[in-house]
Amino acid sequence: MNVLDGDGLLVVDKPAGMTSRRVVDHAQRWWARRTRLGHAGTLDPLATGILVLCVGKATRLIEYIQDMDKVYRARVLLGFRSDSDDADGVITPTPGATAADKSTVAECVSAFVGTIEQVPPRYSAARIAGQRAYDLARRGEEVTLSPRRVEIYAIHILDYSYPYLDLEVCCGKGTYIRSLARALGERLGCGALVQSLRRTRLGPFTVEEALSLDADAEMVRTHLLPMEKAVAALPRLVLSESQRKRLEQGQVVVLAETPTFPHLGEEESGEAAVFDERGQLAAVARFDPRRGTLRPVKVFQSKKR
């Protein structure tokens, strides 16, 4: 069922039991042959919820979506441990595990809000000497991963009835909820794993707008979002047609007026989303406030005008 050939973003609701790669393979049937497809932000097979598919030229913007904040809802099972830190792994009960009271759990959870050091799960896409950790783990090799700094903005306890702890986590790029569950279990002294996980928001994308994989071609067509939503967090600049052409040709553009970007200092460079006079995304460019110039980073060649 190859029906579409455009560029853009498609927000899908990933079902449990599928890898993110399989979701992309499944979605390929909606698109013309040789259409480029990719996903932004991997979800574990156990997890459900928002997976943003990038189509055509939008695949060049995957990194910007991956950098967006995320919100997850997780059910954590206390009193058990897993070699994968979730219910898909080999699960063992923790000897002598006891239920902590609600105040102790709340205090423990709050300790993980902020900038923390987190060790990725053994079964993860983290790399060790160029190899994926999950490949090494599946071969029975030793997996030693270094802690990584991640940002957790908020954790809300939705419900606690031992052995279940339901959480909503708002976090930044690279945060593993499985690692958070493991660390919570260790701090509480009872062990813990993720029993279920659902991503409910990714940047501006919400699960309410996500499309089921059972959708037909017409639903896909109406749900395809413009690719500029991938760079919604970047400051926006509009160029004249002559400036756009220069940028498209890889040339540096000197701006007549120096724009002000609130998130940047007076001499701090940064990226901007560049639009043409018709409001179409033309490029991502790096702005140099000292020189008042734009240097192309990613250029999206315009269709014939």
3 state DSSP class of 303: coil
Rounded Cα–Cα distance for residues 82 and 181 (Å): 11
On whether the CB atoms of residues 123 and 134 are closer than 8 A, the answer is yes
State the distance between the two ends of the chain, measured CA to CA, in whole angstroms: 30
Cα-based distances in Å from 152 to 116, 124, 300 = 8, 19, 34
- Catalytic site residue 5? no
Q: Where are the beta strands (DSSP E) in 89-191?
A: 91-93, 114-118, 127-128, 131-132, 148-161, 164-171
Task: Give me the residues paired with residue 229 across strands.
Answer: none
**Which entry of 7, 44, 85, 86 is annotated as an active-site residue?**
44
What is the residue-wise DSSP string for 35-62? --EEEES---TT-EEEEEEEEGGGGGGH
On whether the CB atoms of residues 213 and 16 are closer than 8 A, the answer is no
Cα-based distances in Å from 31 to 25, 40, 74, 252, 254 = 11, 18, 33, 35, 39
Going by C-alpha positions, the residue among 62, 57, 59 that lies closest to residue 302 is: 57
- Active site members: 44
